[in-house]
Structure 1
Amino acid sequence: MRGYLLGIFVVPLLKHCICSDVVNFDGDIKDFVVGKSKLFVLTDHRLHQMRLDLSEEKRKDITNATHQNRVNILVPFEDNDTLITCGTFSKGYCEVLDLNDITKSIYDESESIGPKQNEKSVAFIAGPSTGRFLLVGKKDEQTNNPDPNRNPSPVVKLWNTLESQIGGIFNNIEEGSTPLIQSTAEDVEFVDGFQRVSSLYLFLNSKTGSESKVHVLWMDSNKIKKTEIFKSLQAATIECCDDKARPVLVASTVIPSGNSVIWAGVFSAQDQQDPENTALALYDISRVRGRVKGFCTIGEKCDSESGSNLQPLSVVFKYSSMSSVAAVRSESSTVLFIGTSDGQLIKLRLDEKFTPGCPIVLYKSDDERAVLPRMHFDPVDFKHIYVALRKELRRVSVVQCAKHTSLKDCRAALDPLCGWCLNTQRCSTKDECSESPWMSTPKNSIQEPLVSFQAWDDKSSRNITLHLGLSLESTGNPAFSCSFTTGSVNLCDGSDLTAVFPNCSCSFSDHKLYTGDLNVTAIVAVKDQKITEMLTLRNCLNIKNNSPNPSYKQCVQCVSSGCQWGFSSQRCDWKHGPGPQLHVQDACRDLFTDMDYKEPEILSLEPNKVSFHGRNNVLLRGRNLESVTKIHIQGDLDCISKESPVFDRSSDTLRFHIPPSGTKGTVKVCVVTPDDRCHGNSIITYSSQPSCTGIQPTVSWRSGGRKIDVQGSSMDTVESALFRPSNKVLQTQYSKSSGDVWFHSPRYDGGGPLSLLLKVGNSTVDCKNFSYEPDPEFVGFTTLQVANDLQVNIKKKPDALNLSMSEVNVTGLQGDQSYQCVLEKIESKEIICKIKGGSGAVTSVDSITISVGDSGDLLTGKHREYLVFFSIVFSLICFFFILIFCSLLSIFRVDSI
């Protein structure tokens, strides 16, 4: 009884308290939505009601053993505290559930509202506050009709959500007619839709013939009647992008902003081999005006075209396989969250000019599960985002300020949601830093370094200006000061140092640079927080050109020192007044032609696909590679490029190691020459780590040499196999046909099972356990004439090796002649093979040789036929003498009686 009562209280407690940042369901996730403080997850068979911490509250079965049902509409109606679901059961149905308890059905009706096919559809609550409708955009069954003279098909309808509306709930008729939007396109795919203030937006792909386009439909949601809403229809075609056509919309999101409506879309060129197959572009859709051919309201013709196509404000990111996008706004910055088809969640910051910063990977899966097109934020604080990957739902923190332990690390993250709290001396969000100055990344640009400086000449003195790349938010005016010292001596002359956040400047004597470079310690203090930076001041006039011709290396040295290269004077000089820092590539480009070596070329990389753990010993083939000093690796997801030394070279080949990456995706590889120029532009793809699903066989004989196949995914990134605890490393071979790798087992005289691991770069991935058994033992053979063939029966001891026909080779020897014995059967105690007869049939063999695997001869057995005969005769003689002995013994006993 006590146990029963304990269960009554503990089980519900555990149900509500056990939560995690990841939940795995028993079926694939089809859709999920967020409503108030609840999360609703739809799988193949069930609808789950969950709290925001991913603990489950309720579940509802949507299929049973006799009725299959595909729920295709899942919309929270928060104003009414209900959840609307529609599915394909019978001829179609819709049901209204209690938003706080999905097991309670409020209303249901047999009505076909959602799509019947497995097609994308869009559904959301729309219309004026006085009368809310369920807007559904879906592909109609008639849309697939390829007839150019086909009648328009309905693609968008508005359905009542309340019984009090005219016609009742789930009714789309108004005043005896059915208002709708129709299309003459051959194929229509709805991707996204939403209502913002008084505007309705729908985004879709349409296809007519071989032409694919992306359209946006706009309607006025302030209209009271459905007919009026549809009559306000305006439309435009959305284009992306300048570098190549990407005519298919994959996912989209609206970016919270002021009066304008900024929208972000992921566009695809539908070329999976293209490292920039998808692009993320931003558009201002505040004023969609005009019409597009193929879409109109009922009663109109759909052949009109007016208005202009929408062009992107900015293309902010390109990648091979983006699959979803979501956005939040922070002050003047925008933060995009991008899901990918290879299982990554990427965070990308844009400044007020929509210039992107460094992408940050918040999560990456070990395999290639795609992130579903829809992602949702935690509606309470927007500090978490929910992403779905096949059967898995994850709650990922979008703010990771606490992991940055210093001001420099906090600033280097370029996260607009994070800043340095001066009172607590830690990296935190703005709301966690109340009543304290908070320093964050600059509002106008994310390209600025934390500390930058310039030295310049105003003809009367040398000057230094230091700029602190931070934005300060404070209710007061915290103290700000700077100092410049060389050793223990103040650099600045007199008391002319000025410090006004975020800049400091002072002048210094020219003679301090006569003896050479000057190492300067710059200390910037904001309240009690100090930032120390080591600067090197150079005398620009001392950067001399020692060669008879202008030198690219000297120009690079000059410009990178903050000086100014004079092409007419062919020398380095001081800048006259402060100005923007030039890029080396721009300032010294014209001197490229003065280099005295043949420009190297890259022809191929082997392999060009690696795991995110990296790869050792990669072969680069090319031309004129003698002058290459190192390999430069730059990826879209890695703002800080990587470099790898060359450890083996010739004029046409190089070998180097590919370092590990924190991300998946493509990187560009070029070779660097002594002048720091980079040549070539090859692609390497970082993919998921290999996943081992099984090995066959799981056991080997101790002398080794057995072929072992390893099955799994991403096996082409495996470099070798490793056995532990023996620590033997074996080279693996990749099979393109099967996608598996294989190797030959090593010799092993130890006991107990071994662990098999796969080496990838400098990391290992666990595989399966492996064991060894004694070598197969053969104890003799006999022969039998069968027609023209000679059958050989080989006796063996039983073992657990389960030998296959391909692993055993038998050869018969007769004098100096050898004959192949074709295997017919391998059993536990016997192997049967036949030496095929022909014009010269073989009637006997002197011996046989048995080879197993690649380990060489395991047994050479000799079993001559006359030996068999003499053994039989000898046995009979022995038996005869035993009988005689027994008879004599009996006679002796009788005589003695």
Structure 2
Amino acid sequence: MAWRALAALSLLLCFGSSCCDDTQDYFLSDTVINNVVQDPQTGRIYVGAINNIYQLNYDLLKESSAATGPKTDNPHCTPPITAQCTDAKDMDNINKLLLVNSANGTLIVCGSLFRGICSLVNLNSVDEQVYYSDTKGEKTYVASTEESVAVVGVISYFIEAHNNANLSIFLVGKGYGSSDSSKLISTRLLQEHGEMDVFENMVEASTVQASPFVQRYLHDFRHAFKDNGYIYFLFSRTPGTSDSRKITFIARLCENDHHYYSYTELQLNCSVSTEQQENTYNKVQAVYLAKPGEVLARKIIPSNPNDKVLFAVFSVDEDGGHSALCMYPLSSINTRLEEVIESCYVGEVLEDEKPKTVDLPHIVPLASSP
């Protein structure tokens, strides 16, 4: 997980400055870095490491920090942790999710301690806590207690139909740990609303719950983002059989579709052809969405050089090993998703009677292999 965060930090600096050839500043953390986010308004960078959150300026100089662990905990005990939790011990806090909420000046911080609850801290000084509660129960558990379970998220909004209230929310995608709920994607409140608490799940949708197949498909989320009215999630999962290899998908739903009715998945393939063979890289490891430079844009999307491109790093297997970078124009992904939806509506099938919509992965011709 640490190398993905460092790669993200490099990408943030490179795309932000357009000068990757220049010597870059660096920041060293005392513990492993898990994730990195940037405030698009101020340029500040926020680093989530084990037991610490760091706030850096654009030159990677530390402005503020906050210790988030270790703390006394047991994943099988319901927080707050008391003397009744006899097996509690000091545990590291793996800061799994950071999200910048510029609208109200807060940083969402979700860690592995206390069943994955979150807190809000001040964007101007992360050592100033804006909201924290460990007494609201299971409905507010967001992240995962297990180190291997990744968590991604994206800020959005929720408009209630009956009173037209516009609520601040964030959508979360996470895999399944032994102490976690089976919700793969959930909608979480960022404010108190009626009898609902901050971080409470607002939507019950069977579309994005793993139960009763949590141990069969093993989702592994890597990135979430929104663009032009849509929200996207990138993840891999097993085929649901004895085959343990991972297959990568991109899922899309309309941002104003609060019940996930528009949720659609598309399989992504990444392969590199050599003189000897064609190598397929099936498990997504890291993702970044950006507009490419002029030269690269002419090669990938000559008809629309202003289109955004999904840069995704894939590996061959669970342990990493050989990897490849594949690039997907976002417009081509959207076009293929629309074809999937249309094919589903008209009931297209292949010769073996399988639905066409689930049998044609999306492939791009451009890839590079380190």
TM-score for the superposition, normalised by structure 1: 0.28
Contact 1:236–1:308 (8 Å) recurs in 2:
no
3-state SS of 1:245 partner? strand
Matched, 1:252 2:283: no
Contact 1:263–1:285 (8 Å) recurs in 2:
no
3-state SS of 1:113 partner? coil
Distance in 1 of aligned mates of 2:45 and 2:182: 35
Q: 1:308: how far off?
A: 5.5
Aligned partner of 1:31 among 15, 29, 35? 35
Q: Using a 3 Å threshold, how does the CA distance of structure 1 residues 317 and 166 change in structure 2: closer, same or farther? A: farther
Report Cα offsets for 1:226-254 as digits up to 9, x if no partner. 22xx1111111112226222211122222
Aligned partner of 1:203 among 219, 234, 242? 234
3-state SS of 1:91 partner? helix
Contact 2:113–2:145 (8 Å) recurs in 1:
no
Q: How does 1:453-852 map to 2 (within 5 A)?
A: none
3-state SS of 2:183 partner? strand
Distance in 2 of aligned mates of 1:239 and 1:91: 35
Report Cα offsets for 1:571-619 as digits up to 9, x if no partner. xxxxxxxxxxxxxxxxxxxxxxxxxxxxxxxxxxxxxxxxxxxxxxxxx
Q: 1:307: how far off?
A: 5.2
Distance in 1 of aligned mates of 2:117 and 2:179: 22
The answer for the alignment partner of 1:830 in structure 2 is: none
Matched, 1:125 2:155: yes
Q: Using a 3 Å threshold, how does the CA distance of structure 1 residues 168 and 143 change in structure 2: closer, same or farther? A: closer
3-state SS of 1:140 partner? coil
The answer for the alignment partner of 2:81 in structure 1 is: none
Distance in 1 of aligned mates of 2:109 and 2:177: 21
The answer for the alignment partner of 1:776 in structure 2 is: none
Aligned partner of 1:154 among 160, 165, 183? 183
Q: 1:92: how far off?
A: 3.4
Distance in 2 of aligned mates of 1:260 and 1:127: 25
The structure with more strand, counted as a fraction of residues = 1
Distance in 2 of aligned mates of 1:272 and 1:90: 29
Report Cα offsets for 1:349-387 as digits up to 9, x if no partner. xxxxxxxxxxxxxxxxxxxxxxxxxxxxxxxxxxxxxxx
Contact 2:169–2:188 (8 Å) recurs in 1:
yes
Report Cα offsets for 1:292-323 as digits up to 9, x if no partner. xxxxxxxxxxx98725534333323221xxxx
Q: Using a 3 Å threshold, how does the CA distance of structure 1 residues 159 and 305 change in structure 2: closer, same or farther? A: farther
Matched, 1:212 2:246: yes
3-state SS of 2:208 partner? strand
Aligned partner of 1:189 among 220, 231, 237? 220
The answer for the alignment partner of 2:80 in structure 1 is: none
Contact 1:194–1:201 (8 Å) recurs in 2:
yes
Distance in 2 of aligned mates of 1:75 and 1:117: 20
Report Cα offsets for 1:37-94 as digits up to 9, x if no partner. 2211222222111211122221111114654322222111111210011223333321
Matched, 1:71 2:95: yes
The answer for the alignment partner of 1:41 in structure 2 is: 47
The answer for the alignment partner of 1:262 in structure 2 is: 309
The answer for the alignment partner of 1:115 in structure 2 is: 144
Contact 2:143–2:174 (8 Å) recurs in 1:
yes
Q: Using a 3 Å threshold, how does the CA distance of structure 1 residues 189 and 199 change in structure 2: closer, same or farther? A: same
Q: Using a 3 Å threshold, how does the CA distance of structure 1 residues 305 and 140 change in structure 2: closer, same or farther? A: farther
Distance in 2 of aligned mates of 1:180 and 1:308: 19
3-state SS of 1:24 partner? coil
3-state SS of 1:70 partner? coil
Q: Using a 3 Å threshold, how does the CA distance of structure 1 residues 212 and 27 change in structure 2: closer, same or farther? A: closer
Give, as a single letter, the amino acid of the residue that structure 1 aligns with 2:281.
R
3-state SS of 2:281 partner? coil
Aligned partner of 2:360 among 298, 309, 321? 309
The answer for the alignment partner of 2:77 in structure 1 is: none
Q: Using a 3 Å threshold, how does the CA distance of structure 1 residues 100 and 270 change in structure 2: closer, same or farther? A: same
Give, as a single letter, the amino acid of the residue that structure 2 aligns with 1:131.
L
Give, as a single letter, the amino acid of the residue that structure 2 aligns with 1:74.
L
Q: Using a 3 Å threshold, how does the CA distance of structure 1 residues 313 and 273 change in structure 2: closer, same or farther? A: closer
**RMSD of the TM alignment (CA)?**
3.2
Report Cα offsets for 1:482-513 as digits up to 9, x if no partner. xxxxxxxxxxxxxxxxxxxxxxxxxxxxxxxx
Q: Using a 3 Å threshold, how does the CA distance of structure 1 residues 93 and 188 change in structure 2: closer, same or farther? A: same
The answer for the alignment partner of 1:102 in structure 2 is: 126
Report Cα offsets for 1:519-563 as digits up to 9, x if no partner. xxxxxxxxxxxxxxxxxxxxxxxxxxxxxxxxxxxxxxxxxxxxx
The answer for the alignment partner of 1:282 in structure 2 is: 328
Contact 1:279–1:317 (8 Å) recurs in 2:
yes
Q: 1:277: how far off?
A: 4.2
The answer for the alignment partner of 1:739 in structure 2 is: none
Contact 2:151–2:222 (8 Å) recurs in 1:
yes
Distance in 2 of aligned mates of 1:271 and 1:50: 32
Q: Using a 3 Å threshold, how does the CA distance of structure 1 residues 109 and 277 change in structure 2: closer, same or farther? A: same
Contact 1:88–1:112 (8 Å) recurs in 2:
no
Q: Using a 3 Å threshold, how does the CA distance of structure 1 residues 265 and 246 change in structure 2: closer, same or farther? A: same
3-state SS of 1:286 partner? helix
Point out the structure with max Rg over C-alpha: 1
Distance in 2 of aligned mates of 1:170 and 1:178: 17
Contact 1:157–1:180 (8 Å) recurs in 2:
no
Distance in 2 of aligned mates of 1:178 and 1:313: 32
Contact 1:203–1:214 (8 Å) recurs in 2:
yes
Report Cα offsets for 1:151-175 as digits up to 9, x if no partner. x94211110112247724212135x
Q: Using a 3 Å threshold, how does the CA distance of structure 1 residues 268 and 25 change in structure 2: closer, same or farther? A: closer
Q: Using a 3 Å threshold, how does the CA distance of structure 1 residues 173 and 270 change in structure 2: closer, same or farther? A: closer
The answer for the alignment partner of 2:173 in structure 1 is: 137
Give, as a single letter, the amino acid of the residue that structure 2 aligns with 1:56.
K
Count of aligned positions: 275
Give, as a single letter, the amino acid of the residue that structure 1 aligns with 2:33.
I
Aligned partner of 1:173 among 202, 216, 227? 202
Give, as a single letter, the amino acid of the residue that structure 2 aligns with 1:317.
S
Q: Using a 3 Å threshold, how does the CA distance of structure 1 residues 164 and 34 change in structure 2: closer, same or farther? A: same
The answer for the alignment partner of 2:299 in structure 1 is: none
Which consecutive unaligned segments of at least 5 residues does structure 2 have? 1-23, 73-89, 135-139, 160-165, 293-303, 342-353
TM-score for the superposition, normalised by structure 2: 0.65
Matched, 1:54 2:88: no
